[in-house]
Amino acid sequence: MDRTKSHSLAALAALLVGGFASGDALALPRDPYLQKVGPDTATVAFRLSSNCSTAQVRFGVGSASQTAKSTATAKIHAVVLTGLAPATSYTYSVDACGETTPAKTFSTAPVPGTRRVHFAAVGDFGTGGSDQKKVAASMLTNKPELFVALGDNAYASGTETEFQTNLFTPMAALLAQVPMFATPGNHEYVTNEAQPYLDNLYLPTNNAEGSERYYSFDWGHVHFVSIDSNCAVGLASASKCTLAAQKAFVEKDLAATTQPWKVVFFHHPSWSSGEHGSQLTMRRQFGPLFEKYGVDLVLTGHDHDYERSKPMLGDAEAGKNEAGVPYLVVGGGGATLRTFATSRPSWSVIRDDAAHGFLDVDVVEGNLTAKLVKTDGGVLDTFTLSKTLPAQPEPPRGTLNVAVDSASGAVPHTASFTATLSQGNATVAWDFGDGATAAGPQAQHVFAQAGTYTVTATAIAQGASPLTATTVVTVTSSGTAEPGTGTGEDPGTTPSDPD
């Protein structure tokens, strides 16, 4: 979120509409939505109807037993969850001023390099209308790991009000469970060069300018790059964004990535036979970089239709033995579709102006398979890109040891646990055996019922195999129990079979 232009909080509250509401549950003017989800972190953003200094997010694996407190004291909150485990499903809810939202779930990103990724992409959806809602519902049914939004996210002018009514309200269920990584459209630029877009979203800032207008990130073995095409074609003032700065970022970023798959997304299409047609600045300024660094797929919107090009090289189709780049327009997210006025050009493989839908993409090992899914569940187009990937090296294994300071005791019994790892920068998740969880190398837990509990620690470090280790805690119902200690370990080797 970039708050270079501030807004009156009272005015924001007056503009917001609709939200969670059921029984005694906390009713929010804006439901929680996921941003900047990674392998070990996630941001949960939400809006309150009144100032609250006690807002927090409850979260955990299975049950929401951990808390992360908001640092804000007013109505606008974005809570960062840390110490998460990669590729793990978490339950979460928002607590604020004594009330709680219904529980939702989300999954963290896999460790970079993981060779299985599932994402969805579409643009030109932010109308608040029925077609947008159908597309969002269809996406949620397909359960993508992340949602790539291709611009025109909030018609007609990208105002604060329109972001609520045309994005966050109609897509609330999707955005609460699937993180959205967006790029701005021309309609967002109508209002103060997309300032409300920056005010409402929390996006990566891994460029020299620290801007959310363009960025990149890894999800598994796919490297994603978001470009602000509005800036590139001259709609942004030089103080906010320049073509030169973006090109420098894109070249440096693409040259540095080690992921085998590269997907770039922005709003204005480099290749399109729709109403707006091809944006030649985007094609000629960025196309050579895509070709130089082996970009596999370019996703755009702007034209309200679907179109897929052949692999393109420069201003023409790639030759039989040349490596080109396929460009897609996926602009059927909810806005009124527009009829093609001309015949299909030779470079266009397929196009459609009659169906709303989204692109569903699976990237498994060296195969990228995409399909355009219509709101009725039908598939309009499907294609596969393939490449040979080098054999994945066996991940290094380390060691994990766990210790408990008091392995037995009477109800209620408090035990403290410590995980010792040979690998640095690992995340540790605890399962206490009674439905409660925690994160971090050290944890404390109160066992409220008698029983024997197997406590499991799972450690995951980037590029390494997961490690697990257990220890046992025994809790008696009454009287006293002799205190003790317990240890467990994963030596990082697979035991041999007994004779």
Q: Is the pLDDT of residue 434 over 70?
A: yes
Q: Is the pLDDT of residue 470 over 60?
A: yes
Q: Which of 11-15, 222-226, 297-301 has the lowest mean pLDDT?
A: 11-15
In tens, the pLDDT along 286-335 reads 999 999 999 999 999 999 999 999 999 999 999 999 999 999 999 999 99
Give the separation between CA 102 and CA 246, rounded to whole angstroms. 41
Domain 400-490, CATH number (from 2.60.260.20, 1.10.101.10, 1.10.443.10, 2.60.40.10):
2.60.40.10
- Contact at 8 Å (CB) between 363 and 261? yes
- Under CATH, to which class is 110-386 assigned? alpha beta
CA distances (Å), origin 368, targets 126, 238, 381: 28, 37, 14
Q: Is the pLDDT of residue 284 over 60?
A: yes
Q: Which of 117-126, 227-236, 379-388, 417-426 has the lowest mean pLDDT?
A: 417-426
Token pair for residue 478?
């009454």
Q: Is the pLDDT of residue 443 over 50?
A: yes
Mean pLDDT of all residues in the chain?
Answer: 91
Same fold, 1-107 and 110-386: no
Nearest to 440 by CA among 60, 104, 108: 60
- Contact at 8 Å (CB) between 170 and 33? no
What pLDDT score does 489 carry?
60
Give the separation between CA 497 and CA 499, rounded to whole angstroms. 6
Give the separation between CA 430 and CA 437, rounded to whole angstroms. 5
Which has more pLDDT, 1 or 445? 445
**Looking at the domain that runs over 1-107, which CATH code has it been given?**
2.60.40.10
Query: pLDDT tier at 392 (50, 70, 90 boundaries)?
Result: confident
Domain boundaries in the chain? 1-107, 110-386, 400-490
**Above pLDDT 90, what percent of the chain?**
80
Query: pLDDT tier at 495 (50, 70, 90 boundaries)?
Result: very low
Give the separation between CA 376 and CA 135, rounded to whole angstroms. 9
Cβ contacts of 324 within 8 Å, gap of 6 or more: 291, 310, 311, 312, 313, 317, 318
- Contact at 8 Å (CB) between 429 and 417? no
Query: pLDDT tier at 426 (50, 70, 90 boundaries)?
Result: confident
Q: Is the pLDDT of residue 365 over 90?
A: yes
Query: pLDDT tier at 395 (50, 70, 90 boundaries)?
Result: low
CA distances (Å), origin 249, targets 70, 280, 403, 406: 32, 20, 46, 53
Query: pLDDT tier at 166 (50, 70, 90 boundaries)?
Result: very high
Q: SS in 3 state form for 260-286?
A: CEEEEECCCCCCCCCCCCCCHHHHHHH
Secondary structure (DSSP) of 137-153: HHHHHH--SEEEE-S--
Query: pLDDT tier at 34 (50, 70, 90 boundaries)?
Result: very high
Average pLDDT rounded to a whole number, residues 91-106: 93
